[in-house]
Structure 1
Amino acid sequence: MGVFKIITVFAVIFVVTTPLPLRTKRTVTTLTDPLEDSIENLDQGRLANIEAYSASDNDNKRDLRNSETSSRNNLREGLLASRYEVKLTPNFADGTFAGVARISVILNSGVADPIKFHFVDLKVGTVRTITGTTSTEVTNVKVNDGVLEINTGAELSLYTFEIEYSGTLEGAGIGFYRGTYESETYVAMNLHPTNARRVFPCIDEPNVQTTISFTFAGVNTYTNVIANSKRLATQPTEGELQFEPLSGAPYLWGMMAHNLSPANLPASNVVLYTRPTRNSGDLQTSVAINNYFNFFNNFTAKPYDSIIANQQGGMHIMALPDVDRDWYALSTIAVWEPYIVIEVSAAARQKQIGFVKIAEAMSKQWFGYVLGPSNWRYQWVITGLGRYAAFEAARRLESNPADAARIDMDAAFVTDVIQESLLDDSYTNALPLEPDADLFNENAIRNNINGLQKTKAAAIMRMLSLVLSQNSEIDYVRNAAQTLFNTATLTDINSRNFYDTLSTTWNQATNLIGNLRDFVQPWVLNNNYPVIRIDLRQGSGVIVTQERFGFANRPQMNFMIPLSFTTSVNPDFNNIYPSQVMQTTATLTMDLTDDDWVIFNIQGQGYYRVNYETALWNRIISALEDETRRNQIHPINRAVLLDDALNLARSGRIEYSIALRIVLTMNLETEYVVWKAFMRNMNILRNHLQSLVDDNDNLDSNIYVRLIGRVTNAAETNLTFSPDPNLTEPAMRSLARGLIMETVCKANYQPCVAAAVDLFRDPNDANAINGNIPADIRPAVYCANIMSGGEEERNLLIAHLAKINNQYERVVILESLACSTDQDYIRSYLDQATIATSPYNSEEKTRIFKAVIESNYKNARVALNFLIQNTARTIEALGGPEKLEEVLYTLSRNFANGGMVTEYKNWVSSLYSNLESSRLIAERYRDFIDQDMQWNDAHLNNIYTWIDQNDAPSFMLSMMLLCISLMVALFNH
């Protein structure tokens, strides 16, 4: 067995048999794990031994390896914290909490070295070692750079520490915090991803398995107190609630003490809690939750109630009015109220967002708690599987095409996941899904898991599932997930064991690819993605080549690209499965006449862009310009063509004349998915063109409005800007109208603004808001009136805000107030959002900032200047660096001129910026902005000229004058 293992066994026996009571009036021993389990965990750990692997694709110029650290934790080699017993006592009067942590420690090496724990934003009090009934104070204790170091002066391999400390109750949804709504409060604990260290001293790394129990004092006044595990059957101390110990990593624990009311019981042992005043009986949410609960039980083959012994048992879903954060704790699920309190009459937009958010939140009980990453470097596997499964759940929920209320989740996945990811992944410094080294720094972890990963990981999983199976009834990604759930429950996942499991379940059932890892790793280990080019081949057919896509030049590398295509000869946009996988180039035989088009990447399921030679672009544009032929092309592929063309032009791969000709075909378009692609890509043009004409009196200030007038014909005629509120229509039609009106009203397109003004006021009371504005166009109507009006319109909307009790509608109003063109008001609005007595909750403040930035480039500059002057105050008001980084991301997409860029760069590079831990991410966004300004310098004047010369009214006027001249000539003749 070996001397080391013998020592280890005796160490564990000592720990297990030593009682570890917290300092309460009574003592309870809660160590109940079997000795065999403890030895097994200690001997094997959660850390897999990973072999080096070299892929065959040498074009990548990268050693495609998957390695892990050799030690159990990065904080202190040889240190194992085998057990924690933590007691937390909040002090609501002064917004603090007191903590006592009992920690059992085993040292496998370096017994003379200091013991270390992560310890952030906490103040250490007394540290003692406990031996039997004897406690000894340790005086050689220091806190340095977020680490608590304890030097006992002894050389022992076993310790039990009792550490007294204190912290602050934040209101931001992280750590141990206090939330508010109306006149009520709640207390919660959210430790993901690295916030356990803000609640108790610990080794806060995802691969470190331990046993933890929590006791909460002073929360008994709340109606509901729920945590991961069951409460002890008999509570040892009056006024305290102690919960059963559970094994797992520290970040997986959560707790919620609240007075929210049970709104519904969507499924057996599933409870939805809402504010008592929002307890509505017609919630659509209940149907969704019930469907999702059954879906995830089947999808994972891991019944929810059997995840782990001593789990709480029920699924408790809380609708939080003030916080929107990722939540991975077992048994408690916290979802921002606008995502989950969805009534029958709710906007289709709220349903589209909410149904997905609910599915994602529920998926984390399995993908995040049951399966977690061995290091945050591998979080892409968990995020990808979880979000992929969530969209599958939402797709099943909304699967009836005959249902008028149906939300097209296929379109939502392409627009909100794949195309959003392709845009962000086009920048030179976009992050790869899997970094090339393990992540331990908090800022690097946040940078990795909160950005591109949230979209790209799911997009790659979707593409992978289509490559591995040509049968819609067989999903090997799902099968691999089921295998992991049944063989690796509560163990750590990395890319190696994901690849191995998927390879085993797939077993080369299809022959599109040979080695699964060779296919996946170039997409995962590198940023950017490929663009394929389609050229006509002499004789018949096409030649397909590839290059790496980015907004700037990138080193060439090859991807294995799944190809799907159809032609106008026999169009089939329903078969989304690839017919082959291209490794370098491909030659495809097909019979095309001079007018026939070919379109690749059916329904945009592949994670790549498609470029065509000019002759093929012209054929596609000819089809798009003809209403009958246009409708032969699937709406999602029309969106893909528009999205690809504008980004290909942005990167200099095609002329803007091609892309803008496709834009002009929007005059025939009414589908949501195509308009979403238009909005995403034209936003940068709107801001930059408006800034261009504002700085030059010789240019037409209405240049962008002229373009909007050219493309809204079908939307204005068929959808109308003034729908009948008494008519029921398909949800996707309502969703499309809302998006189109918001887009064109913000551009100051007067027919849209005029319709919005007509709808704004109550027909019977000019001093009140019209209560019958259809839900999906309220954002556009409110924004247009605030934008075109003044203080009177703002006061009307603010008065309306005080009357409503719908959190989604409340956010719509707060975001609409940000549309004001009164920059003094905008400054005061941001000021009001950040003062200590602000009337807005944490998440509302973030939404206000983002809405101000997105309203127009001038307001974005006001927000930038406010951030520069009030950085620390804004970080505190928003709830920490993570929320500031959300705002910075939005800001990076809305720069319009060099002056703004200079201000931003000076701020980010200043030693006194107060950006602190957000500096790393702010610098990455600075590089995004630089690339956008390079585009501005290279293309903006040409874009202006093209729009000016191809404006429809000017063209029609010219044609009318020409006809008059001809008629005069004929008359004279």
Structure 2
Amino acid sequence: MVRENLVIMDSVTTKFAKRNLVQISKPLASFLLLLFVGCLVATGLLVYNFSSCSEAKKFEEKPTCDRVPQEVPSTTEEAEPLTEVITTTTSPVASTSAKSAEDSDLDVRLPRAVLPQSYKLKLVPFLQEGNFTFNGEVEILVNVTQATNNITLHSDDLFIDTVSVTDSNRDTVSIRDVRGVKKKQFLIIDLDEDVHAGGQYYVFIKFKGVLNDLLQGFYRSSYEENNVTRWMAATQFQATDARKSFPCFDEPGLKARFQISIARLKNMTSISNMRRVNSTEAEPELPDYVWDHFEESVPMSTYLVAYVVSDFESISDGSFSIWARRSALGQASYSLEIGPKILKYYEEFFGIEYPLPKLDMVAIPDFSAGAMENWGLITYREPVLLYEKGVSSRSSLQRIAHVVAHELAHQWFGNLVTPTWWTDLWLNEGFATYVEFLGAYAVAPKWKDPDLFLVSELHGAFGLDALKSSHPISIEVNNPDEVNDIFDRISYSKGASIIRMMQFFMTAEVFHKGLNKYLKSSMYSNAEQDDLWRTLTEVSHENGVLEPDITIKEIMDTWTLQTGYPLITARKAPQNNSVILRQERFYLHRDHVENTTTWWVPITYIDKYNNQKKAWMRKESEKVMEVEPLQRGDWFLLNVNQTGYYRVNYEVENWLALIEQLRNSHLVFDPKNRAQLLDDSLNLAFSGYISYDVALNATLYLVNEREYIPWNSGLDNLDYLYDMFVRTAHFDKYKTYILHLIRDYYAELGFKDSTDDDPLVVLSRMEIVGKACLLGLRDCIMQAVQHFQNWKNAANPDRNNDISPDLREIVYCTAISDGGQEEWEFAWQRYLNTNVANEKEILLTALGCSKETWILSRYLEWALTENSGIRKHDSARVFATVSTNSIGQDLAYRFLKTNWNRIRSYLGPSSMSLVSIVKTSTAHFNTEEEVNDFKYFLKRKQSEFGIALRTAQQSIEQAEANVKWMNTYFKTIVQWLETVPR
């Protein structure tokens, strides 16, 4: 699954001891008594009515009303029984508070006495407006591994109508009770007698549910076409939401086969993981409906089950199809062009043919993640699958290639071989993130994706993993909140970075062999990271890339089971023929931290004379590495091309020699190492390992730099200074220096682009021109405003827009920032009118650039308002862009606090959008007042933060580091900026 990064781009209440007593008159007391009695009567009628509407005499009958399921009365562990006539529901997690302290150790693993073998699932979604519900029935064939008197599975937010159990001869097994366990989301079927080990049984359940609007489970989405609202139903099950669509054994390790049937209106279509076998009329039970029956699937996990019911259309290349809204289908050509090519590349890369008979990819208007790798039916947000030439930017081509490549990689790594439990989620996401760069590179080599990996993934992982509140890649998880909590940069980007490191020290050829052997040995099954380590060790020993006494597990456990990463400090020995290496964990905030963690570190070395060397630091705190003799003033560099997941520090003498080389002839270093030197030095200065004078002097050479990767690394780190300076009286000094660095390159790049431009030149132009306009370079602002006005004055601005697609975000943002309500309203109307999802995203981001406080306040308000025009999955983007705006930073945070309950209710307390909003709204704190205020807010609301709790804690740690930075380094940098040589 791809998680969208929106950083542009959990019920404890305070109780007071003092209470006030209120006296009331007798007439008022009588009135209140009558009102109370009336409420009781009304409540009874509502309960009776609700019970009636939730009962259905036969499977095909629709519920006659649309209500959210009610909770099953339960305790922490064992719930009260459901009624004899089972017409109630399992508890809806969305309506409960996040985990409390006692919940943190809650074990939600299913017992293993009963395991699923196959499912027969039938679903009828009702998409008439006002009645968004579905009926379903599932028959699960289970195998009993040990005698037991109950069958336990998952169910959440479902009305359970009927439950029965039969043996392999179809004889009925007597049920004593059916009950729910609220906090575990269990449905427990208690039996009057044991089911016996080795036996097979059929579990049959009828149920109903609501097609929710929280983008989880089986949910509804809509779009406008020809001024008509059209509805569809789609699924998003990862990690623990298949149980919201049908009762099931909802764990990744409990694979089974699925035979799915979907009833849909005759004017719609349905698709699922497998090919449709046939369709049959649903008359007379369901007039105007047709049953679509799909082939039985291969063994797979519940979170990969998927189905979509819509009136979409498709384009195909053989068995590879892309589905989209009719009016957007023309934008699917590029994805159809590259998809089959990437699929073929992966068949060769993994050494295994794609396992299913077809593959569908669907662009869904409302979608919580970036994309989801459901086996044979991959679902996407529209902007990461659809491309409109002349409207979408060329960088969106790269984005599409990456997301498609990521999801296709999962068809093998994650789907064919699946982690046994979410502890090893990183095996899914880390591998897919790394391999996506190879897949995208295979179809578009000009983008130089293997090089871009550094600034896209590795440097981003460094930032989060330097926090004390980071976590190991492989981490124990229990309840659903904790599962969702680990879909972060550690699992994705750090996972990908250590895999990249492993490929380099094993060699690509040997790594390939091991990967192919691992996949073939575990096909259609589950595995853990130790299974992978075992296979890679065997292949490494067979091919002589590891000594016989060393195992991959010994090496890689230090990277997956430990938090953080090493800082390698290197200094010349007095004899100048060796380098002394010392390792410690790198912390963003070094104060009062025990620093005894060590890793197996693959060291690579190069010096001024191109002498190269490799060595291992074998979990040792210090090592002496023999090298060719070095003279005074000669430089050497570790972590060549930054293939290792570690930072490097040097003595001042070597830093000065490296910086001198950068300023005199930077092309001596590979662009990846230039990016590394900037990233390492500025982060080391932040944490107090080296002087800021040294780190900032390293940036001086950028006036001569013309490669995108070092520029991205340098400006990304200097953006931190922007955040710290922008609300201070010394911001002018920062602006003057950055404009000095970029002025010449800006003049070369300008606003005029060409279709023949190298892709990385396109990225450089977006970076440099965007920075110039942000910092107020007059020429940049004038050109951007003029382009915007020309568009605004066009006869039909929805059809005629001459602004380069690659510069639209810059032009829109600059003109809206420089303008007022008129410019904002014009852009808002274009946002509402455009049919291109990528253009909608750009406009949505630019609309947050306004300098009008009331406009930004209204914008945040609309982000939480139904039918405002802003889709629910885009709410977090609005908060991100307003928070990035210096005028909007305080505004977004105050809005978050004031509207906390509303945000949780609107988005759902387990929504990843909530995580993003917490992160972006607190990202720029750098005063004690801001930090203390957020700490107090978190203390009061901690039980409501749910999956956003870790993010909140990380935000506080980062903010405390910012405060320390302001107190320690701010004046030093002001002085440097005042005296820096030009």
> What letter matches 1:887 in structure 2?
I
Question: Could you tell me which residue of structure 2 aligns to residue 10 of structure 1?
Answer: none
1:733 to 757, 761, 773: 761
Distance (whole Å) between structure 1 residues aligned to residue 581 and residue 723 of structure 2: 36
2:681 corresponds to which residue?
645
The correspondence for 1:88, drawn from 98, 101, 123, is: 123
1:293 aligns with 2:343: yes
2:713 corresponds to 1:667: no
Q: Match of 2:875? A: 845
Task: Note closer, same or farther for the CA distance 1:277–1:917 as it changes in structure 2 (3 Å cut).
Answer: same
Q: 2:711 corresponds to which letter in structure 1? A: W
Q: What SS class does the counterpart of residue 152 from structure 2 fall into? A: strand
Which of 470, 475, 482 is the matching residue for 1:444?
482
Aligned pair in 2 of structure 1 residues 802, 624: CA closer, same or farther (>3 Å)?
Answer: same
Is 1:635 equivalent to 2:671 in the alignment? yes
Percentage of matched positions with identical amino acids: 23
270-279 vs 762-771, which moves further: 762-771
- TM-superposed deviation, 1:351: 2.1
Q: Do 1:571 and 1:632's aligned partners in 2 also have CA atoms closer than 8 Å?
A: no
Contact kept in structure 1, 2:320 and 2:359, CA below 8 Å: yes
CA distance, structure 1, for counterparts of residue 921 and residue 624 of structure 2 = 41
One-letter amino acid of the structure 2 residue matched with residue 316 of structure 1 = D
Summarize the Cα distance change of 1:120–1:284 in structure 2 as closer, same or farther, 3 Å threshold: same
Change (3 A) 1:456 1:588: same
**TM-score using structure 2 length:** 0.81
The amino acid that maps onto 1:395 is Y
The reply to whether residue 616 of structure 1 matches residue 666 of structure 2 is no
1:287-326 equivalence runs, <5 A:
287-304=337-354, 307=355, 311=356, 313-323=357-367, 324-326=369-371
Rate the CA distance shift 1:565–1:941 in 2: closer, same or farther, 3 A.
same
Out of 805, 817, 841, which is 2:835 matched to? 805
Query: Is contact 2:569–2:583 with CA below 8 Å preserved after alignment?
Result: yes
Match of 1:117 among 139, 142, 153: 153
Match of 1:151 among 168, 171, 190: 190
Gapped regions of structure 2 (runs ≥ 5)? 1-56, 62-106, 284-289
DSSP-derived class of the 1:475 partner: helix
Partner of 2:54: none
| Contact 1:895 1:929 survives alignment (8 Å) | yes
Contact 1:215 1:241 survives alignment (8 Å): yes
Change in Cα spacing, 1:140 to 1:599, as seen in structure 2 (3 Å) is: closer
2-side partners of 1:204 and 1:928: how far apart? 36
1:337 maps to which residue? 382
Which residue does the alignment assign to 1:79?
114
Alignment match, 1:418: 458
* Displacement of 1:390: 1.9
Q: Is the 8 A contact 2:639 2:648 kept in 1?
A: yes
Corresponding residue SS for 1:440: coil
Deviation, 1:121, is 2.3
Amino acid at match of 2:448: D
Counterpart Cα distance in 1 of 2:723 and 2:964: 15
Choose the corresponding residue for 1:706, options 736, 755, 759. 736
2:885 aligned partner? 855
Alpha-carbon distance between aligned partners in 1 of 2:725 and 2:374, rounded to the nearest angstrom: 47
Q: TM-score, normalised by structure 1?
A: 0.82
Counterpart selection for 1:279 from 306, 329, 336? 329
| Structure 1 gap segments, 5+ residues each | 1-21, 27-71, 400-405, 573-577, 694-698, 953-973
- Across the aligned residues of Structure 1 and Structure 2, the Cα RMSD in angstroms comes to 2.9
How far 1:508 moved relative to its partner? 5.2
Query: Is contact 2:746–2:772 with CA below 8 Å preserved after alignment?
Result: no
Structure 1 residues 596 and 167: CA distance shift in structure 2, 3 A:
same
Equivalents in 1 of 2:239, 2:117: separation in Å?
20
541-550 or 520-529, which deviates more: 541-550
Matches of 2:154 and 2:955, distance apart in 1? 29
Structure 2 contact 278–294 (Cα < 8 Å) conserved? no
- Matches of 1:444 and 1:476, distance apart in 2: 35
Q: Which moved more, 1:658-667 or 1:939-948?
A: 939-948
1:591–1:506 Cα change, 3 Å: same
1:73 Cα deviation (Å)?
8.7
1:752 to 768, 780, 789: 780
How far apart, in 2, do the equivalents of 1:468 and 1:319 lie? 38
Deviation of 1:613 (Å): 0.9
Q: 1:248 to 1:779 in 2, by over 3 A?
A: same
**Which string of whole-angstrom CA distances, capped at 9 and with x for unpartnered residues, describes residues 146-165 of structure 1?**
22233344444475443333
Contact 1:174 1:195 in 2 (8 A): yes
Measured against aligned partners, the alpha-carbon deviations of 1:302-347 in whole angstroms (never above 9, x if no partner) come to: 211xx2xxx5x21111123332344232111112222222355542
Q: Is 1:869 aligned to residue 906 of structure 2?
A: no
2:615 aligned residue: 580
User: Which of these residues, 223, 230, 236, is aligned with residue 275 of structure 2?
Assistant: 230
Secondary structure (helix, strand or coil) at the match of 1:204 reads coil
What's 2:140 paired with?
Answer: 103
Deviations 1:222-252 (A, max 9, x none): 13x2112233447485532233333332222
Q: Distance in 2 between matches of 1:176 and 1:284?
A: 29
Cα shift at 1:702? 1.8
* Residue-pair matches, total: 848
Matched, 1:505 2:539: yes
Would the alpha carbon gap of residues 776 and 233 (structure 1) be closer, same or farther in structure 2, given more than 3 Å must change? closer
> For residue 587 of structure 2, what is the aligned residue in structure 1?
550
Alpha-carbon distance between aligned partners in 1 of 2:754 and 2:601, rounded to the nearest angstrom? 49
Change (3 A) 1:837 1:236: closer
Partner SS, residue 308 of structure 2 = strand
- What does residue 175 of structure 1 align with? 217
Give, in angstroms, the shift of residue 727 of structure 1. 6.4
Aligned equivalent of 2:396, options 336, 347, 350: 350
Distance 1:764 1:861 in 2: 31
| Structure-1 separation of matches of 2:667 and 2:605 | 17
C-alpha spacing 1:389/1:410, structure 2 compared with 1 (3 Å): closer
SS in 2 for 1:248: coil
Which residue is 1:260 aligned to?
A: 312
Partner of 1:963: none
Q: Are residue 818 (structure 1) and residue 848 (structure 2) matched?
A: yes
Partner amino acid, structure 1, of 2:293:
Q
1:367 equivalent in structure 2:
413
Residue 634 of structure 2 aligns to a residue whose secondary structure is coil
Distance apart, 1:130 and its partner CA: 4.8
- Corresponding residue for residue 690 of structure 1: 726
The answer to whether 1:531 aligns with 2:567 is yes
Q: Where in structure 2 are the equivalents of 1:128-207 lying within 5 Å?
A: 128-130=164-166, 132=170, 140-145=178-183, 146-157=185-196, 160-182=202-224, 183-207=229-253
Distance 1:122 1:873, change over 3 A: farther
| Cα drift, residue 272 of structure 1 | 2.0
For residue 787 of structure 1, give the secondary structure of its aligned residue in structure 2.
helix
Letter in 2 for 1:809: E
Question: Quick one: distance in 2 between partners of 1:294 and 1:453?
Answer: 26
Name the counterpart of 2:295.
Answer: 244
Distance 1:727 1:407 in 2: 14
Say if 2:952 is the partner of 1:902: no
- Map 1:480-499; keep pairs closer than 5 Å: 480-499=514-533
The Cα of 1:421 is off from its aligned counterpart by 0.9
Deviation at 1:904, TM superposition (A): 2.2
Specify the SS of the correspondent of 1:520: helix
Q: 1:427 — aligned with what?
A: 467
User: Could you list the per-position Cα deviations for residues 452-494 of structure 1 after superposition, in whole angstroms to 9, with x for gaps in the alignment?
Assistant: 111011111111011012xxxx433322222123221111110
Q: Distance between the aligned counterparts of 2:331 and 2:868, measured in 1?
A: 32
